[in-house]
């Protein structure tokens, strides 16, 4: 595999040709993505399972109603990190998933090291305020979450009564709390990622954020049990382990996440390159061993049951799920024993999947990768980025023209004079400093537009290049046309990094931000995507994942890396 930051390794396993960027980087396909074993939560759980740390709950100052503060500390690759959690009363009228909220049921910081009582007092004054608080370089991430009130209260009531919660209700929600933000990388004054990303265990993308969410999940499970026990100590029963594992952490994500894929092109390339290289390695397997075949068969069954438990209110996604169910039944009938015995079954399956929907095609990508951890897991080490986009000033205009034609040919055909192709504009809200999407011909503010109109800018660049001497250098061209610097960087970067560019018009009527959200969230490891509009979505993180003591005890009988597309199993 070759990515922008890593040299090719001579001993890399054989691989089939990578899927073309022109196929992979369309929003409709990216918006059909599923988590794979390279997803960030999975790679973190593998690291924790290998190191087997004990999560220490060193502080539990929580009252009978569930309000107060707690601290959870875990050692990761030689460093200690502590989740500091605050649970506070919340007026029901203040409960909202929107980023404009100013109060939450709980708030959190991931602290670098083990906090002292002085640290805790400082954080207690700041963290519940979130953006309005003041922070230090010891504060690595900042987060907040609200209870899923109906399920949270139901679980408390049932456990206090000595009964387990209703499994159908638990499966339909899947989490006790959902985060409305998990901030990192210096936002609001917390630590910049470069402060700790060179540490062992912290180089992977979003590693601190993923660790934060896993620790929050443990806190919510402890909290619901604590409240139930205090309510009725004589009848209380703990939550069944099977049900605990199925409860993840919800997340409500909106437009604020979408531009990330555009503003981090090399990082996006490395994510997609790792996944596509994993798929290519698997497609090159001529005869999978019997264990891999058996594993695949079991995963097909799991995927069907997972999809059967995936229910949403959104009409469009509901139709996609129904189609997926039908096509997975067709898949199950197709991959019988004799079909799998023939050479290169995974390559044939990927080719065969083209007759099905994009949703099914991309689930099959994740499905065929899943049984081959020994072949692909190392690729997760290549998903970070240590370089930034840059200009090659010595390149000739002739070469740059060729790159525009090769990489951005699709953009040159868009008619931006047609208002439907330029109807939207991206900007940053003054109130919350979050990305927003406006209607260019209906709303004010287009003069504040952010540079997500990559296709339009490249098209404008192409026009100027066509009027320039082909032998001219890029440096000379930009001296006369500095307005095209942004577009030149995008073109040269995309020529080096084939998966760095979303190949769609991001300011046209046809752009659905939810596709960008799902693409990014699938790399986190999210599942059960629940669209609430074309601009925000709810998902579940860590559903089915190991609990604290699953990680600490390798002899507990729980497979710490076997929770792809989790299913709530019957008792």
| pLDDT one-digit tens code per residue, 522-533 | 999 998 999 998
pLDDT at 9 over 80: no
303 and 326 housed in the same domain = yes
Residue 180 maps to a domain:
yes
Do 291 and 370 reside in the same domain of the chain?
Answer: yes
Q: Residue 77: left (phi > 0), alpha (psi -120 to 50), or beta? A: left
Boundary (domain end) residue, out of 469, 496, 523: 496
pLDDT in tens, 154-192: 999 999 999 999 999 999 999 999 998 899 989 889 999
The tens digit of pLDDT for each residue in 182-218 reads 999 898 899 999 999 999 999 999 999 999 999 999 9
Would residue 210 count as lying in a domain? no
Instruction: Examine the domain organization and report whether 331 and 416 are in the same domain.
Output: no
- Which whole number is the average pLDDT over 322-334? 97
Predicted confidence (pLDDT) per residue in 503-516, tens digit: 999 999 999 999 99
**Alpha helices (H) along 481-553:** 485-496, 513-524, 548-552
- pLDDT value of residue 303: 97
Q: What is the pLDDT of residue 4?
A: 43
How far is it, in rounded angstroms, from Cα 344 to Cα 350?
10
Q: Is the dihedral of CA 234, 240, 244, 247 positive or negative?
A: negative
Contact status, residue 127 vs residue 84, Cβ threshold 8 Å: yes
> What is the four-CA torsion angle of 380, 80, 74, 123, rounded to 10 degrees?
-110
Strand 175-183 with 248-253, pairing: parallel
For residues 239 and 103, membership in a common domain is answered with yes
* Count of the separate structural domains present in the chain: 3
Q: How far apart are CA 111 and CA 433, in angstroms?
A: 24
Does residue 91 lie within any of the structural domains?
Answer: yes
Q: Is the pLDDT of residue 292 over 90?
A: yes
Check whether residue 458 and residue 366 sit in a common domain: no
Give me the pLDDT at residue 93, please: 73
The tokens describing 366, both together, are 């994740």
Better-scored residue on pLDDT, 268 or 9:
268
Q: How high is the pLDDT of residue 99?
A: 61
- Per residue, the 3-state secondary structure of 358-375, as one string, reads HHHHHHHHHHHHCCCHHH
Assigned domain for 527 exists: no
Could you count the other beta carbons within 10 Å of the beta carbon of residue 342?
A: 10
For 280-285, what is the mean pLDDT?
98
Same domain, 273 and 335: yes
* Cα 137 from Cα 224, distance rounded (Å): 32
192 and 112 in a single domain? The answer is yes
Domain C-terminal end among 384, 417, 449: 384
Query: At 435, which helix (H) or strand (E)?
Result: strand 435-439
Output the pLDDT for position 11.
67
d(CA 426, CA 258): 10
Average of per-residue pLDDT values in the chain: 93
What is the reported pLDDT for 386?
84
Quote the pLDDT of residue 91: 80
Contacts of 560 (CB under 8 A, 6+ apart): 45, 46, 48, 49, 546, 550, 551, 554
Residue 82, strand partner residues: 73, 111
Residue 558 lies in a domain: no
- Are 97 and 241 found together in one domain? yes
Name, in order, each residue with C-beta under 8 angstroms of 115's C-beta and a sequence gap of 6 or more: 71, 82, 84, 123
pLDDT tens track for 13-67: 999 999 999 999 999 999 999 999 999 999 999 999 999 999 999 999 999 999 9
pLDDT value at 101 more than 80: no
pLDDT at 461: 98
Which range has the worst mean pLDDT, 93-107, 237-251, 344-358, 499-513?
Answer: 93-107
Rounded to whole angstroms, the Cα distance separating 294 from 488 reads: 49
Residue of 102, 105, 94 lying closest to 148 (CA atoms):
105
Pair 344, 422 in one domain: no
- Which neighbouring-strand residues pair with 109? 84, 142
The predicted structure's pLDDT at residue 7: 39
Intra-chain end-to-end CA distance of the chain, in Å = 43
287 and 195 part of one domain = no
Residue 366 lies in a domain: yes
Burial class (CB in 10 A: 0-12, 13-18, 19+), 315: exposed
Same domain, 365 and 408: no
Question: Which residues constitute the domain of residue 489?
Answer: 397-496
Query: 479 and 437, same structural domain?
Result: yes
In a domain, 286, yes or no: yes
pLDDT of residue 252: 87
Kindly tell me if the per-residue pLDDT of 103 is higher than 90: no
Domain finish residue from 332, 363, 384: 384
Percentage with pLDDT > 70 across the chain: 96
Residue 48 lies in a domain: no
Q: What single-letter DSSP state applies at residue 128?
A: G
């Amino acid at each position: 595999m070759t990515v922008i930051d890593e040299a090719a390794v001579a001993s890399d396993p054989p691989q089939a040709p990578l899927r073309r960027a022109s196929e992979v980087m369309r929003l409709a396909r990216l918006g059909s993505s599923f988590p794979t074993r390279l997803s960030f939560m999975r790679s973190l759980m593998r690291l924790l399972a290998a190191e087997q740390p004990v999560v220490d709950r060193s502080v539990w100052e929580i009252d009978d109603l569930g309000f107060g503060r707690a601290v959870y500390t875990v050692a990761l690759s030689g460093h200690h990190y502590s989740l500091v959690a605050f649970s506070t009363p919340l007026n029901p009228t203040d409960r909202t998933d929107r980023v404009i909220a100013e109060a939450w049921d709980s708030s959190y910081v991931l602290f670098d090291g083990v906090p002292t009582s002085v640290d805790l007092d400082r954080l207690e004054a700041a963290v519940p305020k979130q953006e309005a608080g003041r922070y230090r370089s010891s504060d690595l991430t900042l987060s907040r979450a609200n209870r899923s009130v109906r399920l949270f209260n139901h679980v408390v009531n049932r456990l206090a009564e000595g009964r387990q919660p209703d499994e159908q209700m638990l499966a339909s929600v899947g989490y006790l709390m959902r985060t409305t933000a998990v901030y990192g990388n210096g936002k609001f004054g917390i630590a910049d990622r470069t402060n700790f990303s060179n540490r062992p265990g912290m180089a992977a993308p979003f590693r601190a954020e993923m660790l934060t969410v896993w620790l929050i999940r443990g806190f919510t499970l402890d909290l619901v049990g604590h409240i139930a026990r205090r309510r009725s100590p004589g009848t209380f029963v703990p939550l069944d382990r099977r049900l605990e594992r199925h409860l993840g952490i919800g997340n409500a994500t909106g437009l604020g996440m979408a531009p990330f894929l555009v503003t981090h092109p090399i990082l996006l390339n490395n994510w997609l390159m790792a996944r596509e290289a994993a798929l290519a390695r698997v497609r090159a397997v001529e005869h999978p061993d019997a264990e891999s075949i058996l594993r695949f068969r079991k995963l097909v069954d799991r995927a069907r049951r997972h999809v059967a438990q995936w229910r949403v209110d959104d009409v469009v996604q509901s139709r996609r799920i129904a189609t997926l169910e039908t096509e997975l039944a067709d898949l199950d009938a197709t991959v019988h024993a004799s079909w799998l015995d023939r050479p290169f079954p995974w390559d044939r399956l990927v080719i065969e999947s083209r007759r099905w929907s994009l949703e099914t095609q991309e689930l099959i990508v994740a499905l065929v990768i899943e049984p081959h951890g020994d072949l692909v897991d190392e690729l997760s080490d290549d998903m970070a980025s240590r370089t930034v986009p840059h200009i090659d000033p010595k390149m000739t205009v002739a070469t740059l023209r060729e790159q525009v034609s090769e990489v951005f040919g699709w953009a040159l055909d868009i008619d931006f004079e047609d208002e439907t192709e330029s109807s939207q504009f991206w900007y940053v809200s003054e109130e919350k400093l979050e990305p927003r999407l406006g209607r260019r011909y209906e709303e004010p503010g287009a003069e504040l537009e952010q540079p997500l109109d990559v296709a339009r800018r490249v098209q404008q660049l192409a026009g100027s290049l066509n009027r320039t001497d082909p032998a001219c250098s890029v440096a000379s061209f930009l001296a006369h046309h500095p307005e095209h610097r942004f577009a030149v960087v995008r073109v040269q970067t995309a020529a080096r990094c084939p998966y760095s560019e979303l190949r769609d018009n991001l300011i046209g009527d046809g752009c659905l931000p939810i596709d960008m959200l799902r693409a990014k969230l699938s790399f986190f490891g999210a599942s059960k995507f629940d669209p609430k509009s074309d601009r925000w979505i709810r998902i579940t993180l860590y559903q089915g994942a190991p609990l604290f003591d699953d990680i600490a005890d390798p002899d507990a009988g729980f497979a710490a890396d076997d929770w792809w597309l989790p299913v709530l199993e019957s008792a």
